[in-house]
Amino acid sequence: MDGTLPDQTLLEMYWTMLLSRRLDERAWALHRQGKIAFHISAIGHEAAQIAIASAIRRGYDWIAPYYRDLTLMLALGYTPREFMLSLMGKKGDPSSGGRQMPSHWSLKRANVISHSAPVATQTSHAAGIGLAIKLRGEDKVVITTVGEGSTSQGEWYEGVNWAAVHQLPVVFIIVNNLYAISVRQEQQMAVANAADKALGLGLPGVSADGMDFLAMYHVMKEAVERARRGEGPTVVEAKVYRITPHSSDDDDRSYRSREEVEQFKQRDPLVIARQHLEKQGLLTPSKIEEFEQRARELVEDAVRFGESAPYPDPEEAAYPVYAEEVPRA
């Protein structure tokens, strides 16, 4: 019974967050069981990502994400099976056919461009897409995400500056989870909020509580509509917390206390969303159990699917170097 979003949408948002969480947890377990080589988690970021997905026109607008955006990808139609193929480096992985590490997204059918590992390179790509949209006179919007650490890169400033100068339809999202691996925000920037950087580039910068899916949604919706109306870019900062270590290789005990982690776990976005929907009467214990059961089934199915899928032929590593070779791929 939220004023702006229909009940069905709210339930779907919760469902996607839950699926993402359970899939994510399973990936951690697979790593600890020695079954996958690498995983980089979205736990703690689910609300911010589902809010982003809900604020755009999926299948129409364009997305330049970064490696933590599992929930966002699921909301755009990426499937748990596809995620498992990518985690296990199997043939048929839609992002790269096994060429990239997991969580290096690309999904052409959902207008998600391919991204790499050097951070913030997607920022100017997003500006370039925005430029093309504007040159063509279309009303699409581009959203792009980075961590707060990436905003230290020259790449980020140049991309945002371009969009600001040319008033491009781009929303630049900074997912501030306080840590760039082990380096805390205070050692990354001199401003209190990452969004404050926007001022220096001539753009509005808005900070939102990224753990609250509705609070984030409202901020995102306004930024997206502004862009769509041709009023230019916005920098949106989603304040979240990275409940897990940076990746499956990281040991976070060397740079933060367990107390801090416990403190932030009190604001688990999944719990906040669930409590909100329970209060609205949209989620009951049996409904929750139904969702949990469905999530378990999808995750199990995905794991089995990934494990039984074949590896790419070694010779596939030889192409496609040039676009002329694409039919072979």
Partner 1 sequence: MVTQVVMPQLGESVVEGTVTKWLKQKGESVQEMEALLEVTTDKVDTEIPSPASGMLLEILVPEGTTVQAGTVLAWIGEPGEEIPQGAVPIAQDLQTKPESIPQRSEVESGLVMAPSPERQVGFISPVVARMAKEHQIDLSQVKGSGQGGRITKKDLLAYLEARQKQEPAAVAAQPIWETPADGDLFRPTELVFGQPLPEVTAPTQPLSGRLIPFTTMRKAIAEHMIASKHTSAHVTTVMEADLSRVVAHRNAHLSEFAQQGAKLTYTAYFAAAAIAALKAHPLVNSSFTAEGLLIHPQINLGIAASVGEEGLIVPVIKHADSLSLLGLARAINDLAQRARTRQLKPDEVRGGTFTITNHGVGGSLFATPIINQPQCAILGVGVIQKRVVVIEDEFGNDALAIRPMVYLSLTFDHRILDGAAADAFLAKVVERLENFSA
Partner 2 sequence: MPEITLIEAIRQAMDEELARDERVFIVGEDVGKRGGVFRATQGLYEKYGPKRVIDSPLAELSIVGVGIGAALYGMRPICEIQFADFIHPAFNQIVNEAAKMCYRSNGEWTVPMVIRAPYGGGIGGGLYHSQSVEAFFAHVPGLKVVIPSNPADAKGLLKAAVRDPNPVLYFEPKKGYRLIKGEVPEGEYLVPLGKARVSRQGEDLTLITYGMTHYYALKAAQMVAAEGIETEVIDLRTLLPIDRETILQSVKKTARALIVHEDNLTGGYGAEIAAILAEQAFMDLDAPIKRLAGPDVPAVPFSHPMQDWFMPNAEKIAAAIRELAAF
Q: Which residues bind partner 2 (CB under 8 A)?
A: 62, 64, 94-97, 99-100, 104, 106, 108, 113-114, 116, 118, 121, 123-133, 135, 154-155, 158-159, 161-162, 165-166, 319-326, 329
Report, in Å, the least distance between residue 112 CB and partner 2: 10
179 is an active site residue: no
CB 54 within 8 A of CB 2: no
67 is an active site residue: no
Report, in Å, the least distance between residue 148 CB and partner 1: 24
Residue tagged active-site, from 255, 256, 267, 294: 255
255 is an active site residue: yes
Report, in Å, the least distance between residue 156 CB and partner 2: 10
Bridge-based pairing state of the strands 170-176 and 179-180: unpaired
Give the DSSP H/E element, type plus range, for residue 162. helix 154-165
Q: Judged by CB, which is closer to partner 1: 29, or 135? A: 29
Query: CA-CA distance, 122 to 144, in Å (whole number)?
Result: 7
Report the 10 Å Cβ neighbour count for 24.
23
Query: CA-CA distance, 57 to 161, in Å (whole number)?
Result: 25
At a CB cut-off of 8 Å and minimum separation 6, what does 245 contact?
251, 252
Which residues lie near partner 1 (CB under 8 A)? 29, 31-35, 37-38, 248-251, 253, 311, 314, 317
Closest CA to 245 of 41, 37, 47: 41
Residue 34 interacts with, from partner 2, partner 1, none (CB under 5-8 Å by kind): partner 1
CB 269 within 8 A of CB 212: yes
Query: CA-CA distance, 160 to 151, in Å (whole number)?
Result: 10
CB 65 within 8 A of CB 122: yes
Residue 38 interacts with, from partner 1, partner 2, none (CB under 5-8 Å by kind): partner 1
Q: Judged by CB, which is closer to partner 2: 162, or 264? A: 162
Residue 271 interacts with, from partner 2, partner 1, none (CB under 5-8 Å by kind): none
Q: Judged by CB, which is closer to partner 1: 28, or 157? A: 28
310: tokens are 């074949």
Residue 251 interacts with, from partner 2, partner 1, none (CB under 5-8 Å by kind): partner 1
For residue 245, cis peptide bond before it (omega within 30 degrees of 0): no
Residue tagged active-site, from 26, 39, 68, 242: 242
Residue 37 interacts with, from partner 1, partner 2, none (CB under 5-8 Å by kind): partner 1
Residues catalogued as catalytic: 242, 246, 255
